[in-house]
Amino acid sequence: MVKLLLVSTSAGSMGGNPTGLWIAELAEPWFVFKAAGYELVLASPAGGAIPVDCGSVKGDFFTEDAKKFMHDPEALDALFHSVKLDTVDLSEFDGMFIAGGHGCCVDGSAMKTAIETLYNAKKLVCADCHGPYALIDCVKEDGTPLVQGLAVTAFTNLEEEQAGAKEWVAGNAKFMETVFKEQGAVFENADPWNSHVTVAGNLVTCQNPQSALAGAKKCVEILSA
């Protein structure tokens, strides 16, 4: 059986404004992976209850899978009792999926060890929307940026602007598109708010909330090969 590590932010605020996990970006992959028969472990940098961005439970952002997740006893138990990431035995896992939300921008380097360990072991690493923010600090075994020379995607600068988050991010974090290009990555993206998934070996990155479902399905495809 495939054992997959799901990782969420632990940050409930950034620059004094509330944030957290974008719930659909966890919920949609959760049900894809459950349908594939995977064993799932939900972890976060701090462990315990995961903060959910209130914007992700409103209107069209609160997708059917997100609603289903919030009424699923097993899913809710995982959400309220996530495992502390640095206590996880990474050798037990076949890969990891990092869900997004602006909270990822202020988790610091908590995910660095997990990403580098699994990536360098040739295991699957997938990150959606703001999940790729964790890649900024990561390096390959030779010390160069992990994304250098690789095709990647993430929530774009234009999407930050259209979401009304440009100044918020500029004052408290970094713009992933800008940093990845500076680090020598080949940055790819679709038009704003359209699904886009980029695969570079065992690294899979997904552009935005609309990409979480396709990203999870791509993970299943890769792990089934």
199-204 LR contacts (CB < 8 Å, sep 24+) = 199/151, 200/150, 200/151, 200/152, 201/150, 202/95, 202/119, 202/122, 202/123, 202/124, 202/125, 203/119, 203/125, 203/126, 203/146, 203/147, 203/150, 203/152, 204/124, 204/125, 204/126, 204/127
pLDDT per position as a tens digit, 108-120? 999 999 999 999 9
CA 42 to chain centroid, in Å, comes to: 12
Architecture of domain 3-224: 3-Layer(aba) Sandwich (3.40)
Residue 93: per-residue pLDDT: 98
- What amino acid is encoded at 6 in this protein? L
Residue 173: per-residue pLDDT: 98
CA 33 to CA 35: how far, in whole Å?
5
Strands 197-200, 203-206: parallel, antiparallel or unpaired by DSSP?
antiparallel
Residue 56: per-residue pLDDT: 98
Which neighbouring-strand residues pair with 124? Answer: 95
Residue 84: per-residue pLDDT: 98
Residue 22: per-residue pLDDT: 98
Predicted model pTM: 0.98
Residue 79: per-residue pLDDT: 98
Torsion, Cα 127 132 134 139, to 10 degrees, reads 100
Residue 153: per-residue pLDDT: 99
What residue ranges do the domains of the chain occupy?
3-224
pLDDT in tens, the chain (225 residues): 999 999 999 999 999 999 999 999 999 999 999 999 999 999 999 999 999 999 999 999 999 999 999 999 999 999 999 999 999 999 999 999 999 999 999 999 999 999 999 999 999 999 999 999 999 999 999 999 999 999 999 999 999 999 999 999 999 999 999 999 999 999 999 999 999 999 999 999 999 999 999 999 999 999 999
pLDDT per position as a tens digit, 119-169? 999 999 999 999 999 999 999 999 999 999 999 999 999 999 999 999 999
